[in-house]
Amino acid sequence: MALKWFALLSIIVGLSGIAWAQSPAEIDREPARAGVAGGANKWRTPTGAPPRPTTGVRPVSGTEETGAAGAPTGGYVEQRPRQPIARVTEGSGALPNDAGQVWREYDITPYVARCTSTNRPEQAIVDWILRDTGYEAWHSEPLGFLSANRRTLRVYHTPQMQAAVADVVDRFVNSEAETSAFSLRVITIGHPDWRVKAKPMLKPLAVQTQGIQAWLLAREDAALLLNELRKRTDFREHSSPHLLVNNGQSTTVSSIRPRTYTRDITLRPDAWPAFEPELGQFDEGFSLELSPLLSLDGHSIDGVIKCNIDQLERLVPVMLDVPTRVAQGQRTKIEVPQITHCRLHERFRWPTDHILLVGLGVVATPVPADPSPLRVPLPWTQAPSRADLLVVVESKGKLSDQASPPPDATTTQRDPQRYRGRY
């Protein structure tokens, strides 16, 4: 009998707990929920409007409705097309030629047919035209435009501009330059004192970018200089010495390594330890792009060099307070990167029979060496690595000459008339 009374008492206590758990707002909604099908007794919003259907489907072209304070109300209104403010007309339907503009179409298939290293070889022609004529000439008065596909380059501009465009196109489609190649080498020297012995060999070349130097060297002097640099313990080459670049095309030498660090935290009160680290990534290394173009007579070279160097010098630690109920003094560390950038975008012109040497100065090392596991540097002795970065560009002539197999060293005799006692 006592067990029956105890069970009955438990049921009564449980039902009363459920009733008290309901909030006053929920109790007030009960008559409305019961009268949904009652017509006049249907629950309405405070403004008297019926509630919006909550099907979970948002309009395709709509924006969320907001209240007076800017907070979303949960409804969506249809977004109408915006009426233009500027006055727009259909125009006359004819291209203006107030400055004598003419239409020309250039056949670029000879260049595109032999260029198989990129999906859009015609873009190189467009880029060089913009470099020679200037970007503003195609976006201001007089009216002109430039368009290219894999077969035809279409140009609408003045006769003077058409002559400049024709010169660039001829340099690409010229059959004499189709097999010309250039070599690109990226070198770093730990200290710039190599200039002491090399000074008599270097012929300065004008440069627009501040902090950058460029020189011309005869082929014999360049060979001697490279041999001397290789003897140094701080000499390092970051590209293949046999890398060849075809005329009119671009190549990129890069070495990138990702480095991760803790850049922030995300609070997670429902999990231990109440936060979650947010990782960031910094791509460290270098990227160097060369775009060479031979002149029509073959006596000079135009080359555009782009170089980007990004170095993560160190990670500066920052301690954040993340208190919890269990540990009020809990702290965690995030890291703020201290970085160094180096940028170069320069155009050079030099004779074909000379070698171009570009010095970017003592900059961040393109490929920082990983620290030795046997040596743990002290924090106050750590310093970002720096080196003198050199870029060497040389014309290799015809690819057919480069592709010929070397003669047998056991049967070849040195021609004294050719070497003249220099080697």
Domain boundaries along the sequence of the chain: 102-173, 180-370+384-403
Q: What is the mean pLDDT of the chain?
A: 78
Confidence of residue 16 (pLDDT cuts 50, 70, 90): low
The vertex-27 CA angle with 22 and 30, nearest 5°, equals 125
CA-to-CA distance for 420 and 423, rounded, in angstroms?
8
Instruction: Give the pLDDT score at 30.
Output: 45
Tell me the three state secondary structure of residue 33: helix
Q: How confident is the model at residue 389 (pLDDT cuts 50, 70, 90)?
A: very high
Confidence of residue 138 (pLDDT cuts 50, 70, 90): very high
Q: Is the pLDDT of residue 23 over 60?
A: no
- 166-180: average pLDDT: 84
Please give the average per-residue pLDDT across 84-108, as a whole number. Answer: 90
Position 248 pLDDT exceeds 60: yes
Q: pLDDT tier at 280 (50, 70, 90 boundaries)?
A: very high
Question: Does residue 198 surpass a pLDDT of 70?
Answer: yes
Mean pLDDT within 27-50 = 46
Q: Which of 326 and 301 is assigned the larger pLDDT? A: 301
Separation CA 5–CA 252 (nearest Å): 88
Instruction: Of 139, 137, 135, 127, give the one whose Cα is nearest residue 160.
Output: 137
Question: Rg of the chain's alpha carbons, rounded to an integer?
Answer: 36
Instruction: Give 59's pLDDT tier (boundaries 50, 70, 90).
Output: very low
Q: Is the pLDDT of residue 41 over 50?
A: no
Percent of the chain with pLDDT over 70: 71
Q: Which of 288, 256, 282 is nearest to 338 (CA)?
A: 282
Per DSSP, which regions of 34-126 are E strands?
Answer: 62-66, 72-78, 102-107
CB half-sphere exposure, 209, CA atoms < 13 A:
19
pLDDT score at 168: 94
- Is a pLDDT exceeding 50 seen at residue 27? no
Asked if residue 165 has pLDDT above 60, the reply is yes
Residue 93 has pLDDT above 60, yes or no: yes
Q: What percent of the chain has pLDDT over 90?
A: 46
Relative orientation angle of helices 122-133 and 159-173, to the nearest 10 degrees: 140
Q: Does domain 102-173 have CATH number 3.30.1370?
A: yes
Q: In sequence order, what DSSP letters do the residues of 181-245 get, joined into one string? A: EEEEEEEEESSGGGHHHHGGG-EEE---STT-EEEEEEHHHHHHHHHHHHTSTTEEE-S-TT-EE
Does position 119 have pLDDT exceeding 90, yes or no? no
Region at 400 (left for phi over 0; alpha for psi -120 to 50; beta for the rest):
alpha
Q: What is the pTM of this model?
A: 0.69
Q: Who wins on pLDDT, 379 or 353? A: 353
When pLDDT is averaged across residues 312-327 and rounded to a whole number, the result is: 88
For residues 368 and 392, give the distance between their C-alpha atoms in angstroms, rounded to a whole number: 21
**pLDDT given for residue 368 in this prediction:** 59
pLDDT of amino acid 260: 95
The whole-number pLDDT of residue 77 equals: 58
300: confidence class by pLDDT, cuts 50, 70, 90: very high
**What is the spatial distance between Cα 418 and Cα 421, in angstroms, rounded to a whole number?**
9
* 413 pLDDT more than 70: no
Bigger pLDDT: 176 or 346? 346
Buried b (16+ CB within 10 A) or exposed e, 317-333: eeeeebeeeeeeeeeee
β-pair partners for 362: 388
Residue 403 has pLDDT above 80, yes or no: no
Instruction: Quote the DSSP letter at residue 142.
Output: S
Q: Is the model's pLDDT at 381 over the cut of 70?
A: no
Is pLDDT at 380 greater than 60 in this prediction?
no
The residue with greater pLDDT, 122 or 10, is 122
If you average pLDDT over residues 110-124, what whole number do you get?
A: 86
Q: Is residue 417 very low, low, confident or very high in pLDDT (cuts 50, 70, 90)? A: very low
Burial class of 187 by CB neighbour count within 10 A (0 to 12, 13 to 18, 19+): buried
Residue 326 has pLDDT above 80, yes or no: no
Q: Is the pLDDT of residue 12 over 70?
A: no
Average pLDDT over residues 301-308: 94
CB 185 within 8 Å of CB 239: yes
- Per-residue pLDDT at 422 exceeds 80: no
